[in-house]
Amino acid sequence: MSDAPAEDHLIRFLSTPGLPPKVLKQVAGLGELVEIAAGATVFEEGAEYNRLSIVVSGHIELKMNAASCGDVRILTIGAGDVLGWSPLLGGHRMTATATALEPSQLLSFETGRLRSLFETDFETGYYFMNHISLALMQRLVATRLQLLAMVGDAGSASAGDGTA
């Protein structure tokens, strides 16, 4: 794979002033651009998976199975968002099912290779994991906002019928 497209997408993801060019080159050398067809499943909840991806284009739906109501969409992610971060942190079973809502492109990395690089080059690991941490923080905030909206909707419904 040519590293140029991967580097271009990483530059957008790792947009940090003063980022050493070697960080981009080393990480980009491990990535591959993957096309995902609309409706295709990227990974399933509970399945083993060993890739981390950055969404380049398109939208990916994340669903979790809730015993009381089946599959529930918990989030839709798009360009610049991280997909499948659990394997990078050591977990290999996915906590949600990811499905492409439209033709999508991912910059995908095998997480074992990333971890090996980060264990030998701490600077590269620091920059990359710093951005993963920021992405996870944004994901947590989005999930909290969604939860607040759901609680607000439930509160409005119960307030209208006199049950609180």
Question: What CATH number did the domain enclosing 32 receive?
Answer: 2.60.120.10
- pLDDT by residue (tens digit) across 2-59? 456 777 777 777 666 667 788 888 888 898 999 999 999 999 999 999 999 999 999 9
Tell me phi and psi for residue 65, to 5 degrees: -90, 120
Question: Does some domain include residue 153?
Answer: no
Range of the domain at 76: 3-111+121-148
Q: For residue 37, how far is the Cα from the chain centroid?
A: 18
Contact by Cβ (8 Å): 20, 68:
no
| Domains: count for the chain | 1
- pTM score of the predicted model: 0.81
Residues 105 and 102: their CA atoms lie apart, in Å, by 10
Residue 158 belongs to a domain: no
Is 155 contained in some domain?
no
**23 is a domain residue:** yes
Computed over every residue of the chain, the mean pLDDT equals 84
Provide DSSP, 15-84.
--TT--HHHHHHHHTTEEEEEE-TT-EEE-TT-B--EEEEEEES-EEEEEEETTTEEEEEEEE-TT-EE-
